[in-house]
Chains A and B, each alone.
Chain A
Amino acid sequence: MSEVIVVTSGKGGVGKTTASANIGTGLAILGRRTVMIDTDIGLRNLDVVMGLENRIVYNLVDVVEGNCRMKQALIRDKRYPNLYLLPSAQTRDKSSVNPEQMRKLVEDLQDDFDYILLDCPAGIEQGFKNAVAGAGRALVVTTPEVSAIRDADRIIGLLETGQMKSIHLIVNRVRQDMVRRGDMMSVDDVMDILAVPLIGAIPDDEAIVISTNQGEPLAGTDTPSGQAFLDICRRLLGEDVPLALPNISYGLFGRLTSLLRRA
């Protein structure tokens, strides 16, 4: 039996897809057979973030409608032997699939994988309902901003009403320098406001932009965010990994100071 995890957030643009890509990659690096499912029908993106966009033949809707077998639609990521992607359909919409069909789809993958990772679309409508239908665990991604946290709170409420067994928080794009000078809510503030246990915090890291540009996830690489994502994967596997938020230097002045400090 595999663990089925949905990565969700409510608000768009907080890093759901990036988190899905990197957590999927991290789990594969740690030797777990992992499949990532892009459930954002009509606005598919996980394939581009993973750099697998040129290998799509069939998609999620094709599988649901019986136009192909599951094996034909799954894309194996050649860089990681344990990692697969089920891409979403770009030319359809959320109503092409219903929660019951999603539950069945996830069930069909249970025997072949340790982890099934569902990348949820933004919003609280049909797409969200589809994505959470088959999941037993939810990772709520937010950033330390008022709008993202408000939407995360709404999502957490919906997940609780839907009897989601386990809900954890990922705080993305944390800038410790801004937290220190009092101009950003700290990870503790966010946890306290949302009252949900934390599974990891990701520093705001320009390496993420570079990695997305290139279509190469950075989980496990020697970057602050790459390490933070791998830490999240270890915690998912049950390891006790202490939370560490590195001090990244931003801007010219910050970099000069950190260079001087290092010298």
Chain B
Amino acid sequence: MEHRRSAALRRGRSGAVAARRLRSLLAADQSGFPPETLEMLKNDMCRVISRYLDVDAAQMEVRIRRQGRPAMTGGDESDCFPALCTVIPVKDFRLKGTF
């Protein structure tokens, strides 16, 4: 039987993976924005941008992130807002020509 090796292959950076997953998980928890809706938003964004540029849909990321916690940093509410962060890898920056 073939053993599963994927976890072992990624040894040495799982701590960073955990931190990255947690950041978006907590932001999503706190915003109350449903993950399914976020996925739909991502697909829609992908479709719109694809009209102009050749993007790598599989690598595209859309996450809710936030900065700071107002009660702890002593700042006011405006210091801490959730933001929609996207990473959209572009395969080809030449305009597609037809919009």
User: In B8-36, which residues have CB < 8 Å from any A CB?
Assistant: 11-16, 18-19, 21-23, 25-26, 29-30
From B14, B25, B72, give the contact of A182 (CB < 8 A): B14
A146 near B15 with CB under 8 A, answer: no
B59 to chain A, nearest CB (A): 22
Instruction: Say yes or no for B69: interface residue by CB 8 A criterion.
Output: yes
From B14, B15, B22, B69, give the contact of A196 (CB < 8 A): B69
A146 near B30 with CB under 8 A, answer: no
From A150, A181, A183, A197, give the contact of B29 (CB < 8 A): A150
Q: Interface of chain B, helix or strand or loop or mixed?
A: helix
CA–CA, A186 and B68, complex, Å:
18
A193 near B22 with CB under 8 A, answer: yes
A146 near B72 with CB under 8 A, answer: no
Subset of 5 A-B contacts with CB under 8 Å: A150-B26, A153-B29, A154-B29, A182-B12, A193-B26
A193 near B30 with CB under 8 A, answer: no
A182 near B22 with CB under 8 A, answer: no
**A residues less than 8 Å from B16 (CB atoms):** 182
**A residues less than 8 Å from B11 (CB atoms):** 181, 183
User: In B48-82, which residues have CB < 8 Å from any A CB?
Assistant: 68-69, 71-73
A196 near B72 with CB under 8 A, answer: yes
Instruction: Say yes or no for A124: interface residue by CB 8 A criterion.
Output: no
B72 near A186 with CB under 8 A, answer: no
**A residues less than 8 Å from B12 (CB atoms):** 181-183
Instruction: Say yes or no for A109: interface residue by CB 8 A criterion.
Output: no
**B residues less than 8 Å from A149 (CB atoms):** 22, 26
Instruction: Say yes or no for A167: interface residue by CB 8 A criterion.
Output: yes
Instruction: Say yes or no for A179: interface residue by CB 8 A criterion.
Output: yes
Instruction: Say yes or no for A160: interface residue by CB 8 A criterion.
Output: yes
**A154-B29, A157-B30, A185-B15 known; A195-B22 Cβ under 8 A:** no
B83 to chain A, nearest CB (A): 15
B26 near A153 with CB under 8 A, answer: yes
B19 near A189 with CB under 8 A, answer: yes
CA–CA, A87 and B23, complex, Å:
38
B15 near A183 with CB under 8 A, answer: yes
**B residues less than 8 Å from A48 (CB atoms):** none
**A residues less than 8 Å from B26 (CB atoms):** 149-150, 153, 193
**B residues less than 8 Å from A189 (CB atoms):** 15, 19
A182 near B18 with CB under 8 A, answer: no
A195 near B29 with CB under 8 A, answer: no
Instruction: Say yes or no for A184: interface residue by CB 8 A criterion.
Output: yes
**A residues less than 8 Å from B73 (CB atoms):** 195
CA–CA, A144 and B22, complex, Å:
11
Residue of A nearest to B69 (CB): A195
CA–CA, A193 and B22, complex, Å:
8
**A150-B25, A160-B71 known; A193-B19 Cβ under 8 A:** yes
User: In A10-34, which residues have CB < 8 Å from any B CB?
Assistant: none
From A167, A184, A195, give the contact of B15 (CB < 8 A): A184
B54 to chain A, nearest CB (A): 34
CA–CA, A144 and B11, complex, Å:
16
